[in-house]
Amino acid sequence: MTLHRFTNGHIVTASGVLTRATIDVEGGVIVAVTGDVGDGEDATDLRGGWLMPGFIDTQVNGGGGVLFNDEPTVEGIAAIAAAHAPYGTTGLMTTLISDRPAVVARALDATDAAIAAGVPGVLGTHVEGPVLALSRKGIHDPSRFQPLDDELMAILTQRRTGRVMVTLAPERVSPAQIEALVAAGVLVCIGHTDADYATTRAAFDAGVTGVTHLFNAMSPLVHRAPGVVGAALDDQQVYCGIIVDGFHVDDAALRIALRARPLDRFMLVSDAMPCVGAASKDFVLQGKPIHVEDGRCVGADGTLAGSDLDMAGAVRGAVTRLGLSPEQAAAMAATSPAAFLGLTAERGQIAPGQHADWVCLTADLTPAGTWIGGEPIAAPAALPLDEPVA
* Binding positions: 128, 139, 192, 213, 216-217, 224, 248, 304-306
**Distance in Å from the first CA to the final CA of the chain:** 38
Q: What is the DSSP letter of 334?
A: I
Catalytic residue flag (residue 271)? yes
Which residue in 99, 112, 245, 271 is the catalytic one?
271
Specify whether the CB–CB gap between 54 and 333 falls below 8 A: no
For residue 107, the one-letter residue type is A
The binding site for substrate comprises 139, 216-217, 224, 248, 304-306
Query: Is the link from the previous residue into 170 a cis peptide, with omega within 30 of 0?
Result: no
What is each CA distance from 128 to 2, 7, 150, in whole angstroms? 40, 42, 18
Based on C-alpha coordinates, what's the Rg of the chain?
A: 20
Largest CA distance in the chain: 64
The binding site for Zn(2+) comprises 128, 192, 213
Q: What single string gives the DSSP state of each residue in 184-196?
A: TT-EEEE-SB---
- Cα separation, 160 vs 110, in Å, equals 11
Q: Are strands 50-53 and 10-13 parallel, antiparallel or unpaired?
A: parallel
- Cα separation, 275 vs 277, in Å, equals 6
Task: Give 135's contacts (C-beta < 8 A, 6+ positions apart).
Answer: 194
Specify whether the CB–CB gap between 359 and 52 falls below 8 A: yes
Q: What is the DSSP letter of 321?
A: T
Specify whether the CB–CB gap between 359 and 367 falls below 8 A: yes
Q: Nearest 5°: phi and psi at 276?
A: -65, 125
Neighbours of 55 (CB within 10 A): 33
Catalytic sites, residue numbers: 271
